[in-house]
């Protein structure tokens, strides 16, 4: 509970109840609403998330804001850049994972859950193999118990020799340079950092037209958006990029330019400092010293979370 004279903020990363049903949806939305009511300001990581939270009755419009272009912390572009070192690591990974040099690779990076659309991706992969028999599906991450996929989906992933499942990795950067395209069929997001990371590596995205993802992907410019849970459309979009590598390169380049322009972590830090300073000033409280521009703080590296 906020104390008199204090300032409480909440970073809102996703509407967890968005894709839930029945009692689970009710309780998730209730507790999200309660958390937002206890905050002076709710900082949403994307505009579509802000709009979804408002439409679900989770937060009042005048309480919710998005800082800059959104995201939780931007991305360190240099960490994912296609440097000789990164490309060398990717080449070594390709060999160790048994991926043929000439094989195309579609990839997913994240948690293996139902809401991430893993079942849609596997169905799309089965469509794609009719036209691309040598295609590999690279899954970087691991299965989670919460919102778990079915046993049949899990068994399909583990049994198919053309599906490479890496498990948890501490640094996903080299894996981005193994892929030709990143697929993100998630049914809901807040703001998917994995899109920023893939773009920083110069890779195009095919994503579902879902909350959060629509802020991270500029449809037709740095990636392609398809309807949620439409495996056939997902497969068609991925196939289009595999058949037209020049288009894929152009989209990847556009994504990298956008990340460099709009999602440097320092932009988020400065926007957050300005927001706090403004709120403190409104309440007659002292503002913090503006040290963001001089502090040697490294942005966090996003790794695939453990279950």
Nearest to 285 by CA among 52, 5, 3: 5
CA distance readout (Å), 236 to 128, 269, 283: 8, 39, 54
The token duo for 42 is: 């709710």
Which range is least confidently modeled, 152-156, 181-185, 300-304? 300-304
Per-domain boundaries in the chain: 9-72+264-282, 77-262
4-63 per-position pLDDT tens digit: 445 566 666 667 777 777 888 888 888 888 888 888 889 999 999 999 999 999 999 999
Over residues 247-264, the mean pLDDT reads 97
3-state helix, strand, coil split of the chain in percent (to 5) is 40, 15, 45
Listed residue (186, 197, 201) closest to 83, CA to CA? 201
- pLDDT(1) > 60: no
For residue 100, what are the contacts with CB-CB under 8 A and spacing of at least 6?
134
Residue 269 in this model has a pLDDT that exceeds 60: yes
Determine if the pTM surpasses 0.85. yes
CA distances from residue 262 to 69, 227, 233 in whole angstroms, order as listed: 6, 26, 29
Whether the predicted pLDDT of 196 surpasses 70:
yes
Range with the poorest average pLDDT among 19-28, 240-249, 276-285: 19-28
Q: What is the pLDDT of residue 9?
A: 66
Mean pLDDT in residue range 254-271:
94
Query: Rounded to an integer, what distance in angstroms lies between the CA atom of residue 257 and that of residue 263?
Result: 10
Q: Are 43 and 10 in contact (CB under 8 A)?
A: yes
Quick one: pLDDT at residue 124?
98
Identify the pLDDT of residue 8.
Answer: 62
- The number of CA neighbours under 13 Å toward the Cβ of 173 is 19
* Residue 2 DSSP class: P
Q: Which among 83, 38, 93 has a CA at the least distance from the CA of 60? A: 38
In percent, the amount of the chain with pLDDT more than 90 equals: 70
pLDDT tens digits along 143-178 = 999 889 999 999 999 999 999 999 999 999 999 999
Q: What are phi and psi of 231, to 5 degrees?
A: -65, -35
| Calpha distance 139→97 (Å, rounded) | 12
**pLDDT tens, 83-130?**
999 999 999 999 999 999 999 999 999 999 999 999 999 999 999 999
Tell me which CATH homologous superfamily contains domain 77-262: Glycogen Phosphorylase B; (3.40.50.2000)
Please tell me the distance from the alpha carbon of residue 132 to that of residue 144, in angstroms, as a whole number: 30
Question: Who wins on pLDDT, 144 or 290?
Answer: 144
Beta strands in the chain (DSSP E): 9-12, 41-44, 64-66, 105-109, 136-140, 163-165, 181-184, 205-208, 223-226
- Main-chain phi, psi angles of 133, to 5 degrees: -60, -25
């Amino acid at each position: 509970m906020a104390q008199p004279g204090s300032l409480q903020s909440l970073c809102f990363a996703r509407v967890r109840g968005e894709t839930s049903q029945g009692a689970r949806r009710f309780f998730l939305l209730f507790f999200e609403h309660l958390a937002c009511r206890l905050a002076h300001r709710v900082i949403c990581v994307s505009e579509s998330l802000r709009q979804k939270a408002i439409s679900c009755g989770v937060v009042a419009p005048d309480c919710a804001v998005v800082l800059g272009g959104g995201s939780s912390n931007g991305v360190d572009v240099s960490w994912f850049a296609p440097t000789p070192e990164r490309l060398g690591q990717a080449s070594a990974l390709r060999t160790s994972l048994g991926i043929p040099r000439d094989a195309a690779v579609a990839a997913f990076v994240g948690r293996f859950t139902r809401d991430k659309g893993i079942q849609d991706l596997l169905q799309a992969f089965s469509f794609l193999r009719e036209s691309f028999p040598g295609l590999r599906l690279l899954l970087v991450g691991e299965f989670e118990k919460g919102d778990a996929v079915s046993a049949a989906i899990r068994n399909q992933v583990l049994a198919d020799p053309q599906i490479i499942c890496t498990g948890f990795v501490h640094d996903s950067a080299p894996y981005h340079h193994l892929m030709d395209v990143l697929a993100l069929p998630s049914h809901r997001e807040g703001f998917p950092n994995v899109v920023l990371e893939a773009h920083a590596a110069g890779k195009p995205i095919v994503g579902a037209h879902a909350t959060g993802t629509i802020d991270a992907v500029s449809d037709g410019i740095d990636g392609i958006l398809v309807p949620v849970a439409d495996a056939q459309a997902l497969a068609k979009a991925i196939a289009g990029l595999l058949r037209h590598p020049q288009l894929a390169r152009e989209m990847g380049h556009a994504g990298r330019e956008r990340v460099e322009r709009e999602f440097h972590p320092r932009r988020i830090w400065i926007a957050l400092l300005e927001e706090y300073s403004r709120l403190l000033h409104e309440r007659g409280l002292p503002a913090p010293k503006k040290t963001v521009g001089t502090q040697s703080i490294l942005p966090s590296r996003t790794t695939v979370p453990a279950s």
